[in-house]
Amino acid sequence: VIMAHSVDEYGFKRADDFDEEMYQEFRSYYFPVLARRLRKWEKIKDRISSVGKSSLKYYVRKGIPYSIRPRAWFVVSGCIERRDLNSDLYTQFLKGPFQEDMKESIRIDIPRTFPDNIFFQRPEDGHLLPLYNVLLAFGSSTPEIGYCQGLNYVAAVLLLITKSEDTTFWLLYYLVNDCLPDYYGKQMKGLLIDMAVLTDLVKSRIPAVGHHIEDMGVDWGLIATKWFLCLFIEVLPFETVLRIWDCLFLEGDKILFRVSLTIIKLLEKDLLEASNAGEIVDCFKKFFICKTVLNCHQFMKAIFKIPGSLSRAEIRKLREKHS
């Protein structure tokens, strides 16, 4: 449902320089795709967990329809089984106790979360209190992390999609503790290791760019930390982010490397022409608002094609090398 011309279907205000023509062109292509996907998903939505692995992967990679997404994420991530075993866990963690400094950090970050989204603007009509609750309960469930910046954005997107505090809590717990271990701790060790892994993957798969970036003394961490930490939120167009998350919940963190390598490969020519860090950052900024990434359906096809095969074993080996 599009509420008003100036706001998209997820509640985000359109930027002043919003390209209406490009968006309408994308919509006229993508809406028939969504209608087809919905017809297919309608047949399996009540038995997702019994669909064979390769069929499910096929379905998920082609996109989960908006109305089915909350349920699908909950099932394919395995969160549904966990919740069934501990149905009142969220309520328990919401009772506290909470560290005062954690509460304060969350309080400070809440108003900064998606200020351009109508659901996060006024406490009385949106997701501000649910977001506060989820982050408090999560901090209580995972005291070694508590709260750290970045989690507010991830939790906010989960709330926008699922409209449920309980579901958001479980999905956030899964992402932070199982999917992206050590990304959000005090040392962010897992994230630093994955930046080194990405550096190696770029050098081996897109060597010209790998060496060019290295020669300029630019660290991939400078460019890609936000990609991994915020799971491409506020990096790629929102619909594209959701399509990436569809796969993330089923296939795990490997998807983040696929997306990153695809972006870098698509930008190879421009990156090789850049002569300093500023120009490199500009290359990515321009790219993230272009047609290629707005058309999430084509972009998702590209992430499974362009990087070639990328096995979990290869990533594990590289992580061990940098641990």
**What's the pLDDT tens digit per position in 231-252?**
999 999 999 999 999 999 999 9
C-alpha to C-alpha distance for 123 and 130, rounded to whole angstroms: 10
The separation between the first and the last C-alpha atoms of the chain, rounded to the nearest angstrom, is 47
- Return the residue matching tokens 């061990």: 320
At residue 37, the pLDDT reads 95
SS3 (DSSP) at 12: strand
- Comparing 84 with 290, the larger pLDDT belongs to 84
pLDDT at residue 187 is higher than 90: no
pTM: predicted TM-score of the whole model, two decimal places: 0.95
C-alpha to C-alpha distance for 181 and 104, rounded to whole angstroms: 24
Token pair, residue 284, equals: 């990515």
Lowest-pLDDT range of 9-13, 17-21, 58-62, 88-92: 17-21
- Comparing 252 with 2, the larger pLDDT belongs to 252
pLDDT at residue 197 is higher than 90: yes
**Mean pLDDT score across all residues of the chain:** 93
Query: The dihedral of CA 24, 262, 64, 40: what is its sign?
Result: positive
Question: What is the residue-wise DSSP string for 13-44?
Answer: BPPTT--HHHHHHHHHHHHHHHHHHHHHHHHH
Residue 243's nearest CA partner among 292, 296, 192 is 296
Question: What is the residue-wise DSSP string for 100-111?
Answer: HHHHHHHHHHGG
At residue 124, the pLDDT reads 67
Domains, the chain, ranges and CATH?
1-68 (no CATH), 85-179 (1.10.8.270), 189-322 (1.10.472.80)
DSSP H helices, the chain, are 20-44, 53-61, 69-76, 79-85, 89-94, 100-109, 128-141, 151-162, 165-174, 189-205, 207-215, 220-229, 238-251, 254-266, 268-273, 277-287, 291-294, 296-303, 312-322
Q: How confident is the model at residue 18 (pLDDT cuts 50, 70, 90)?
A: confident
C-beta separation of 29 from 295 below 8 A: yes
Q: How confident is the model at residue 155 (pLDDT cuts 50, 70, 90)?
A: very high
